[in-house]
Amino acid sequence: MTAPTTVFSTALTIGFSRMTDELDWRREAACAHLSQDSVFAKVLSEAEPALRACNQCVIRRECEAVVDPERTWFDGVSGGRLWRNGREVGRVS
């Protein structure tokens, strides 16, 4: 009776390890140290710290590709742009 539990636990551990490896790219993000309030902001003034970080980010393109804001209706900063409901929020000049 202990074998199924062991197999299940091992499968979960392997799955979790794989998922963790796949998410390692986020550690390279320039916004990794910022508050979630900035990264997931809906208002441009609150998103400025994350937008500035994007300007120097080495994974900017990968971030937008993974988040896929238009398809996921994302709210926040991704790829150097602010998104609300999957649409880019333009900057006021």
Does this model's pTM top 0.75? My answer is no
- The overall average pLDDT reported for the chain is 79
pLDDT > 70 fraction of the chain, expressed in percent and rounded? 70
Please name the residue ranges forming H helices in the chain: 2-23, 36-39, 44-54, 60-67, 69-72
DSSP 24: G
Tens digits of per-residue pLDDT, 30-65? 999 999 999 999 999 999 999 999 999 999 999 999
Determine the average pLDDT of the residues in 21-27.
Answer: 65
At residue 74's C-alpha, the angle toward residues 83 and 30, to 5°, is: 70
